[in-house]
Amino acid sequence: MPRTLTELQDLIRAQFGAKDSRRGIEGTFMWFMEEVGELSAALREGEKEDLAKEFADVLAWLATLANIAQINLDQAVETKYGQGCPYCRHTPCVCGPNQKP
């Protein structure tokens, strides 16, 4: 089982990479959005088992999009969040209540 985002991307690439490449970024993004919609419904319904499956689906499709776009998610997350909040640079974030994030 993958323990890092890079390992997850490698797993998804091994399982679905050829198919994902043929579908392309636009088609893959549509599948990703469908899964986000299913996650939204699961969040409203509150069934923990279904919710866990939808989180896994969204994460897998995000890894697929990153693979197609040639983005290493581990590196991207480290670059954006590795030094604390990307806005205030603190951990925990001390941004005001009306500020992102």
Degrees, nearest 5: CA angle 45-47-53? 110
Domains of the chain, each with CATH number or no CATH = 5-70 (1.10.287.1080)
Its pTM stands at: 0.90
pLDDT average, residue stretch 28-33 = 98
pLDDT at residue 37 above 90?
yes
Alpha-helix residue ranges (DSSP H) falling in 1-101:
5-45, 48-69, 73-81
Other CB atoms within 10 Å distance of the CB of residue 59: 16
Report residue 2's pLDDT band, with 50, 70 and 90 as the boundaries: confident
Residue type, 69: A
Q: Cα–Cα distance between 61 and 39 in angstroms, integer?
A: 12
- Mind listing the pLDDT tens digit for each residue in 43-101? 999 789 999 999 999 999 999 999 999 999 999 999 999 999 999 999 999 999 888 76
